[in-house]
Amino acid sequence: MVERALPEIPRLGGSVAHRGMPSWLKGLRREPRVVVAGGYLLLLLLAAIFAPLVSPHDPLEQDLMLNTLPPAFSAGADPGYVLGTDSLGRDIASRLIHGARVALTVAIVAALAAGAFGTVLGLLAGYYGGWVDAVVSRLIDIWMAFPPVLLSILLVAMIGTGLTSVILAIVIIDWTRFCRVVRSETLQQTRMDYVDAAVVLGRSRWTILTREVLPNVLPVVLVLLSLEMGIAVIVEAVLSFVGLSVSSDMPTWGGMIAEGRQIIYHGWWVMVFPLSLLVLTVLAFNQLGDGLRRLTDPVMRR
Amino acid sequence: MSPALLSIAGLSARLKRPPHTPLLRSVDLEVAPGEVHGLVGESGAGKSTIGKAILGILPGAIELAGGTIRFCGEDLLAMPAGRRREILGSQIALIPQDPMTSLNPSRRIGDQLTDGLRLKRGLNGKALEDKAVSLLRDVQINDPEAVLRRYPHELSGGMRQRILIAAAFSMDPKLIIADEPTTALDVTVQKEVLRLIRSMQASHGTGVLFVTHDLGVVAQICDRVTVLYGGMIVEQGATADVLAAPSHPYTAALMAASPRHDQTGSGMQPIPASLTAALQGELARHGLERVTHA
Amino acid sequence: MLDPNAPILVEAKGVELELPDMNAARAFGRRPLTRILHPVTLSIRRGEIVGIVGESGSGKSSLGRLLLRLHEPTAGRLAFDGVDITHASQDTLRPMRRRMQMIFQDPQSSLNPRRRIRSIVAAGLTLDAGQRAEIRDGELVRLMVAVGLDPALLDRFPHELSGGQRQRVGIARAIATRPDFVLADEIVSGLDVSTQAQVLALLRRLAGELQLALAFISHDLSVIRNLCHRVVVMRAGRIVEEGSCAALFDNPKADYTRRLLDAIPPLVPDPNWLGRPPPGAAEAAQAAG
C-alpha cells in the first residue's frame, strides 16, 4: 500500500494551478505591456503591409504649392494632410506609413537572420564545448573588437547601398549578441541534472540538444529577437540618415529625419513625427521583449 | 524574578497579498538569559520566519499581523527604527545558515569580522586587530593573523562558519539567532560547530534561539524546545522532557520519522494520514480563534 | 529478503577516475587533471541495496556516475550484467541505458522546467517505439499510482509540485524503463523527515518488487542503516570500510567510520556527546590556543 501524499502545508511561493482559463491568456492579463506593445506593432505591421491602401496620398507625389503645410490641428492646415507636408509638399503621414515598410522589413529579416545564425553557433559552442566552443568564443572576441557603427557604414559603403546591404550589415554585426547569450545559457542548462537524466534514458546528443536544451534557451532567444528588432530599426534609421540605406525614391524614417533636420525652425513637424514614431517603435520592441521574457518563464508564470 | 531576555507573545504573520495565507499563528515563546532554545519543525512550519521577524528582515511578501516581540522588556516592533538598529548587531546577532553566501566574497575576512566593532564600538588600529585575533582564537582557528588577510573563497565551509560565529559573538550580544547554522555542513564539521556554539554561549552567558529541522541537533544542544507545525506551536518544554515523552502526537510522529544510526529498523515511519488530518483541523481552529478576537 | 546467490549485476574492479580540476586555471585551454577516485572495487547483486556514504569531496557521487558510465574510468574495469562497459562508446551504451537508471538529488534541476510531468515520465516509455497512445497513457497512470502520486498531476509542470512529489516523479521516470540497476544520488537530502520517510518507504518497496540492484548514495548514515543491506564508507576517493549494515554500524573497524558515527547527534539528549572531544580535536585546539 502506498501512503497518499500529505496535504501540503501552505508555504511561501507555493502555487495552485487554476483550471479553466488558458495559462497564456492569464499571463497576458498580468503583462499588459505585451498586449499594448504587441498591439501597436501589429497595427504598424498591418499598415506597412497595406501601405498603398491605407495611405491617403502617394508618398512620392510632390506638390510645391502645398509645401511645409502644418499638421491638421494647427492654424493654416489642410485637413487632407493630417500630419502636414514636407518641403517638397509630400504627405508626411503617407511617407511614415511607407517608411514603416522599410523599417519593419529590416527589423524582422535582420533580427531573424542574426538570431538564427547566432543561436545555432551559440548552441553548438555551449553544448559541445571543447574546440567548437574555443573557436566560436575566439571568433566572438575578435568580432566584438570592431566598432559596430563604423563597421556597418564601412560594410554598406563596400557592398553598396540598398535594403539587402543594410540587412546584411546588421546580421554580420549583431549575430554575436545572440551567440554570446545563447552560449552561456546553453552551458548553464547543460549542467542541469535533467540533461543527465536524458543521457541515462539513452537519448542521443542531438535529441537532447533539440528537445531538452533548446526549449529552455528559446525564451531568451525570443527576448533577444525582440530587442534586436528595436536595434535594427535604429541602425536602419542611422544608415538612411547618413544616406547609406535604400535609394532616395523610397521613404524611410531616417531619411525623413535627415530632411526635417534642415528645416526644423520653420517646420518642426517634418522631423518630430518620424522621430516620435521611431522612438515609439523601438520602445515597443523593448517592452514586448521584456514582457515576453516574464510570460514564457514557467517558473515566473505563477 | 528576572524578566525573560526575549519574550514573544501572540506573534502572527501572513502573506501580504490575498489570500493572506497565515505563516505564524499566535506564537508565544520565551528565551531566558544563557538558555539555548530550539525552534524545530519541517519546511513551512514558520521557524525561520520567527527568527527573521526578530531581526526585522522579513521578506517583502510577508507582513506581521499582530503580537509583540519584547527584548529585555522593550518591544522591538514598537520602538523607533534608530533604537532598533542600535540593538541589532550589538545586542542581538545572527549566525546564518549558509556560510558560502553570508560572507562578501570581495572583502577580506578581517574587515568583515570587525565591521561591528568599528561601527558600534569605535575600535581601530592595533586594538581592533588584537581583538580580531583573539576572536578567531576563541573559535579555535589556527594562525588567526594569516586568516584575517584571506578572502572567503580561500577557506573551507567549516572555517567560514567559525568566522561567522566569531563575528556574531564579537559584540558580546545578549541574544543570538542561529538559523540552521549547521545544515550546510558535513556531520563531522557540524559536531565541531555545535560544540563551539555551545561553549561560546555558555562562557558568554548568551541566550540562543536555535532554528533547526534536526531533532538530533535539538537533543544535543537545546535546553528548551518549541515544536512548530504550519506556523502554530504544537509543543513547548524542556528538551529532555519533550523528547522522552512528547505530549503532542506530531512531536512523536516527527521522532518516529527520524532514522537513527544506532538501531536498525528505527524511525522512517511516515506520518499517518489521520494525524495530518487532525493537524489540519487544529490549524483551521487556530485560524478561526485569531480572527474572532482580532 | 536478499538472496546471497543473486547474480552480480554491477561490478567495478579497481576503477580509477581523473577529471579536469575546475578550481585550477586553464593552461592552453585545458585544465590539469585531478584524481577523484583511487582504485575502487565494488559489486552490486540483483535485489541488493548498497549504501555509498561519505562527506563532501569523498568521491561518492563520482563513483555513482562512473557506475552508470556518465564518467569513463581512467583505469580498472567496469561491467554491467557481465558485459564490459569500461570504455564502451555512448552509442554502444545506448541500448543498455534503459536497464540502468538514475534518480537525482535535486528534483528541481533534474526535471526539465518546460515539460509537463506527462512528458517527463513518458520519456522513459517512448523508447518502446510504436506504442499506441492509450497503452502509453495507461502505463503512465500505473506508474503514477505506483509512486503514490495522483495521476491528475501528469498535466502539471514541475514547479507546481512539492519537493516530495517531484522526487516521486523522478522515481517514476527511473522505473518507467523497467531498469535492473538504479542509482539514487542523495535523493532525500532536500526533503523534510516525514517526506523523507515516505520516499524511502516507496523506494524500498519498489526495489524489492522490481528486484533492483540499487546504489544509494547519501551523506546520512542513519538513513543508510535503515534502508540498505550493505554499505561502503568512502573518504577522499577511497573505500575505507565495507560491510553489511548492521555489522558495520554496530562494530565499525575504521577510525573514520567511528568518527562519522560519533558525529551524528543522537535523538536522546546526552550531556557527554558534545563534551567528549573527537580524536585529534584536543591537539588541534591546543595548537590553536
pLDDT tens digits, C223-258 = 999 999 999 999 999 999 999 988 899 999 999 999
Partner-chain contact C113 A4, CB within 8 Å: no
> For B72-97, what is the mean pLDDT?
89
CA angle B150, B151, B152 (to 5 degrees): 120
C147–chain B nearest CA distance, Å: 15
What residues in A contact B277, CB-CB < 8 Å?
A: 7
Partner chains of B (3+ C-beta pairs under 8 Å): A, C
pLDDT recorded at residue A219: 86
Nearest chain B residue to C200 by CA distance is B268
Q: Which residues does B108 contact at the CB level (< 8 Å), separation at least 6?
A: B148, B149, B150, B151
3-state secondary structure B167-211: HHHCCCCCEEEEECCCCCCCHHHHHHHHHHHHHHHHHHCCEEEEE
B85 touching chain C per CB within 8 A: no
What residues in C contact B263, CB-CB < 8 Å?
A: 225
Interface probe with B: pick from C53, C187, C193, C244, most Cβ of B within 10 Å = C193
Nearest chain B residue to C262 by CA distance is B188
pLDDT category at A22 given cuts 50, 70, 90 is low
Return the top range by mean pLDDT from A225-229, B272-276, C21-25.
A225-229
Partner-chain contact C226 B265, CB within 8 Å: yes
Q: Report whether pLDDT(A76) > 80.
A: no
Q: Given phi > 0 = left and psi -120 to 50 = alpha, else beta, which region is C102?
A: beta
Write down the H helix ranges in chain B.
47-55, 81-87, 109-113, 115-121, 125-138, 144-148, 157-169, 187-204, 215-221, 239-244, 249-257, 273-293
Distance CA A94, CA A100 (A): 10
Listed residue (B173, B164, B168) closest to B206, CA to CA? B173
Q: Which fold has domain C8-253?
A: Rossmann fold (3.40.50)
The least confident of B19-33, B212-226, C53-67, C122-136 is C122-136
Nearest chain A residue to C160 by CA distance is A15
pLDDT recorded at residue C130: 56
Distance CA C96, CA A201 (A): 9
A2 touching chain B per CB within 8 A: no
Report the share of chain B in percent with pLDDT over 70.
96
C77–chain A nearest CA distance, Å: 20
A205 touching chain C per CB within 8 A: yes
The least confident of A68-77, A262-271, B162-171, C84-93 is A68-77
A56 three-class SS = coil
pLDDT category at A14 given cuts 50, 70, 90 is very low
In this structure, what is the dihedral angle of CA atoms B194, B197, B198, B199, given to the nearest 10 degrees? 120
Distance CA A52, CA A54 (A): 6
Interface probe with B: pick from A1, A2, A4, A12, most Cβ of B within 10 Å = A12
Write down the H helix ranges in chain A.
23-30, 32-49, 51-54, 92-128, 130-144, 148-159, 163-190, 193-200, 205-207, 214-241, 253-262, 268-296
* Through-space distance between the first and last CA atoms of chain A, rounded to whole angstroms: 34
C110 → closest Cβ in A2, A15, A194: A194
Partner-chain contact B273 A3, CB within 8 Å: yes
Q: What is the pLDDT of residues B126-167, one digit of tens each?
A: 888 899 999 999 898 989 999 999 988 888 888 999 999 999
Q: How many CB atoms lie within 10 A of CB C38?
A: 14
Q: Which residues does C45 contact at the CB level (< 8 Å), separation at least 6?
A: C2, C3, C6, C7, C8, C9, C213
Q: What is the pLDDT of residues A131-177, one digit of tens each?
A: 899 999 999 998 888 887 777 778 877 888 788 888 988 898 889 99
Q: Which residues does B130 contact at the CB level (< 8 Å), separation at least 6?
A: none
Q: Report whether pLDDT(A119) > 90.
A: yes
Partner-chain contact A202 C95, CB within 8 Å: yes
For the whole model, what pTM was predicted?
0.81
Listed residue (B262, B168, B175) closest to B216, CA to CA? B262
Q: Report whether pLDDT(B67) > 50.
A: yes
What are C's interface residues with B at a Cβ cutoff of 8 A?
A: 55-56, 163, 192-198, 200-201, 219-223, 225-227, 245-246, 249, 259-270, 273-274, 278, 281, 284-285, 287-289
Residues shown for chain A:
302
Distance CA B209, CA B207 (A): 7
